[in-house]
Structure 1
Amino acid sequence: MDQQKEKWSFFSPYSKSDPSMDVPVTAGPAGTIMSPYLNFDPSYVTPGGDSEFIFPEGASRQRGRLELSFSQIGGSVFAGAAVGGLNGLYAGLRETQAAQLTGAVRRTQMLNFITKRGASSAQTLGVVALMYSIFGVVLWWGRGVEDELNTVVAGTATGLLYKCSGGWKRCLRGGGIGFGLATAYILFTSKDRIKSMLGRD
């Protein structure tokens, strides 16, 4: 009677002795955890256990230069807007204080400084990132390989093209800046690869 009452109570319609509740959660000699509902071993999805995603056969596990270009351009635009906005905030505070503006007039002038400086910096960095991405993608498609040489050539070409309208001196200066930034990026991100190429362990 007590067992029947335990089995059909309002808060516990099933008892521990109910055979339908005896579902194993492990299987195999190693006790691999399995789903008690689907009887599915998650290790089958990733046989090597080195990735959380399923890739098609023959597909690269890393994003190529074209896929990375979208995030690089967008990130450059946002970074330029943030830097320009902070610069505009500082300039606006200084200029409005010097002009002794107060109230709504000062707030309006502050917003003008922030939006103008932010938009200008965002446009500049966005154009530079766009040119760099175009050069990088063209080199990647043309050479059929993605390596450090593409980064250096793309950075140098971007600097040359961006400053080409200011004369050959500014053009060379821009190319040198692009070469320096690309080289610094490679030295920072590819230390192990450079050491292996030079034969140093």
Structure 2
Amino acid sequence: MEDKSPVYNPYSSSDPSMNVPVTTGPAGAIMSPYLNFDPAYLGTNADSQFIFPEGAARTRGRLELSFSLIGGSVFIGAGLGGLNGFYSGLKDVQARQLTGANRRTQLLNFITKGGASTAQTLGVVALMYSVFGVVLSWGRGVDDELNTVTAGTATGMLYKSSAGWKRCLRGGAVGLGLSTLYVLFTSRDRIRGMMGR
């Protein structure tokens, strides 16, 4: 014999207190389930206002920006290294005339090794640049273009410091050039204002 007793279903209760609407009315604005008020009463303001701790800046500081810089550099390095590895792997498998699973495995090896190597290199460079930039900002008490150029130059010199003093100077020159180009690109208006134009 089968049991024909009704199965309990909490969602189909006949209790009238369970039939509470989620919307405020025919317009269908959703009410907050936590505070039980209609958020439309707050209004929509294009200039969102946030509460900042006393003495805190309204923009992110150099230390906060360094995390996204380092992470972005690692991802860009992985992508560029993977593309370079794919190109190198294609040349290798064609020269060795590999087919099937061997070809696929060799291509994957080239892609992963190239991506990891370039990601690590760009991540280390970004980390050194960020450390120099944060230390300069804290030491000088200001975050300006001079910190950017100095951090770029010091990064280039430190990165190539183990290869001898000539390459160390070349690395510093490359860092100086790249950071100067970055400053000229991002701070055009401020530089024009400083030059009186």
Instruction: Provide the TM-score with structure 2 as the length reference.
Output: 0.77
In the other structure, the counterpart of 2:156 is: 159
1:60 deviates by: 1.1
- Distance in 2 of aligned mates of 1:50 and 1:199: 32
- Distance in 2 of aligned mates of 1:65 and 1:130: 12
Q: Deviations over 1:76-129 (max 9, x none)?
A: 000000000000001111110111000000001001100111100000000000
Q: Which amino acid aligns with 1:92?
A: G
In the other structure, the counterpart of 2:31 is: none
Q: Which amino acid aligns with 1:143?
A: R
**Match of residue 116, structure 1, among 113, 121, 126:** 113
**Residues 98, 141 of structure 1: alpha-carbon distance in 2 compared, 3 angstrom cutoff:** same
1:88 matched to 2:89? The reply is no
- Distance in 2 of aligned mates of 1:171 and 1:38: 59
Tell me the C-alpha RMSD between the 2 structures.
Answer: 1.9
State the identity %.
Answer: 72
- Paired residues in the alignment total 162
**Match of residue 182, structure 1, among 172, 175, 179:** 179
- Distance in 2 of aligned mates of 1:163 and 1:180: 15
3-state SS of the aligned residue for 2:143? coil
In the other structure, the counterpart of 1:15 is: none
**Residues 189, 198 of structure 1: alpha-carbon distance in 2 compared, 3 angstrom cutoff:** same
**Residues 99, 42 of structure 1: alpha-carbon distance in 2 compared, 3 angstrom cutoff:** same
- Distance in 2 of aligned mates of 1:39 and 1:173: 60
1:133 matched to 2:130? The reply is yes
Please, which runs of 5 or more residues in structure 1 have no aligned partner?
A: 1-20, 22-35
Structure 1 runs of 4+ with >6 Å offset? none
3-state SS of the aligned residue for 1:80? helix
3-state SS of the aligned residue for 1:114? helix
In the other structure, the counterpart of 1:42 is: 43
In the other structure, the counterpart of 2:193 is: 196
- Distance in 2 of aligned mates of 1:51 and 1:187: 31
- Distance in 2 of aligned mates of 1:56 and 1:192: 30
**Residues 151, 128 of structure 1: alpha-carbon distance in 2 compared, 3 angstrom cutoff:** same
In the other structure, the counterpart of 1:101 is: 98
In the other structure, the counterpart of 1:171 is: 168
1:73 matched to 2:88? The reply is no
